[in-house]
Structures are given as structure tokens and as C-alpha cells.
A and B are shown apart, each in its own frame.
Chain A
């Protein structure tokens, strides 16, 4: 095991922004910043009145990276190496898995673990472990 590409300061700073966003949504509005849950419940036919804040959150989440990419402040990540099949399989697994498991990296990893939810700690350990196994066994890393 060799450690390369380690970027501790930008990781900590970016993480602090993510935590601040999740904290603002929770203490300001009483909502959990779980991205999979926010997107998935947009598809619910009930509670139309509750859709506005979800759309607003996703607009902010999409617009800021779009502006950073467009202004070259952040390099556009390379996606060209992924085949359609791989993207579709990964997206499907992420979609099904996050609904079955009631959360993703944000919902479980931050909002859940940050409130010491045992379910979230277990889910986070399992998805990081499964992710590590996938990348390592399939040799997907650089």
C-alpha cells in the first residue's frame, strides 16, 4: 500500500462545507440532508407542498459545481473512461441500494453518524467495506 494524491487540507475544508450545509438544513429547516432520500421522495405522489425545498436544495447542489466547472475554478472530473453499461449498472445499484438501506453517504455517513444513529454507523461501515471490496477485487483503482 502506497499513499499518493493525498489532499488533507482541501478534504477537511470541503468536508466542513458539507457538514455546514447539512447542519444548516437540519437546524434551520428540520430536514435531513440525505441526497438519495431527497431525490427519491420527489417521486412521491403525496405531499406536493413538501417538494419545494427539495428542488431548491438540489438546484443549489447542482449550480455551485456547475459554476466552479464553467469558471475553471475546479477541474472537470474525467468520466469518459466509463462505459454506458458500467454507468447504468452502478447507477441502478446505487439507486436500489440507497432506497433499501434508507440512505447514502450523506444521509447515513453525515446526518446519521453525526447524530450517533447505530443504523447509520452499521450502514456506513457496510457500504464503505463493499466499495473497498469492489474497487480492490476488480482492480478499479489507478
Chain B
């Protein structure tokens, strides 16, 4: 069990590192680049559509090849998480809309927010603290 836990931590560290590398290489970590993508009526920069395309182009075939080979478990043996039921409720729509407005305001979403902490700018810290406050508020007042 201990070995399994060490493997889990190693995989997570490597996955996080790949993710961070991707955010930096793709430009997704740069708020100006993100706002350029969202600025559809102005000087539109379609690059981020290709970031998502590149990510899905690796993720989706990898996932489906794995599933098609009959494997319902991950390499460490636990079941793969289920795809959620297609329930479209108000909570999902309002949440996604609020997230979109916040994302548009400064061009930062949760992954790049963590990566930007590595740039040692206090602005990234303010964003992350406010985001944590948002997580806490929802945890406190829902359910």
C-alpha cells in the first residue's frame, strides 16, 4: 500500500509538471494572451483554441484507446472515474457563467493562477487568495 502511495504521488508530481510546462509553452499562463483569445470582436488571437485542440487531441484518443482495450481501471488499479450524468442544472450554468466573467476580467483561470505564483508577483497571490475565499464561501453555504 505504501509503494502504491509513493507511485501515486510520483505520477501526480509528473502530471502537474507536464501541465505546468504546457501552460507556459502554450501561452495560456499569460493573461494578455487569454484576453486576446476572448476578445472576439477586437484583435482576436485564436491561439487558445489550438491549446484546447492540442490537449484534447492527446487526451481523448489516449482515454478511448485505454477504454477500448477493455480496461476500466487505471495503472495503479483503482477504477477510472465515471463520466457524470448529463444533468444541466441552474447551478452548472450560473457557476460556469460566473467563472467566465472572472476569467475574462483578468485572463486568469485556476491552473495558470498557480503557475503564475512562480513568477513571484504579488498580483498572482491576490488572485489566488480571492479564489480560495470563493472556494471556501461555496463550501460553507452550499448543501
Contact of A43 (CB < 8 Å), options: B27, B126, B127, B136: B136
- Chain A residues, CB < 8 A from B124: 79
Is the pair B42, A141 in contact by a Cβ cutoff of 8 Å? yes
Task: Tally A residues with Cβ within 8 Å of B.
Answer: 115
With both beta carbons as reference points, the residue of chain B lying nearest to A142 in the complex is identified as: B43
Is the pair A4, B43 in contact by a Cβ cutoff of 8 Å? yes
Contact A91 B91, CB 8 Å, known A8-B50, A11-B47, A26-B63: no
Is the pair B54, A12 in contact by a Cβ cutoff of 8 Å? yes
- CB-contacts of A110-132 with B (<8 A): 110-119, 122-124, 126-132
- Chain A residues, CB < 8 A from B75: 27-29
Is the pair B100, A18 in contact by a Cβ cutoff of 8 Å? no
Is the pair A3, B12 in contact by a Cβ cutoff of 8 Å? no
- Chain B residues, CB < 8 A from A7: 27, 45, 47
With both beta carbons as reference points, the residue of chain A lying nearest to B90 in the complex is identified as: A100
CA distance A97 to B51 in the complex (A): 22
A54 to chain B, nearest CB (A): 7
Contact A116 B83, CB 8 Å, known A21-B17, A62-B117: yes
Contact A136 B40, CB 8 Å, known A29-B12, A29-B74, A96-B98: yes
With both beta carbons as reference points, the residue of chain A lying nearest to B19 in the complex is identified as: A21
CA distance A21 to B19 in the complex (A): 5
B interface residue numbers (CB < 8 A to A): 5, 8-33, 35-36, 38-48, 50-60, 62-63, 66, 73-76, 78-81, 83-88, 91-111, 113-121, 123-124, 126-139, 142
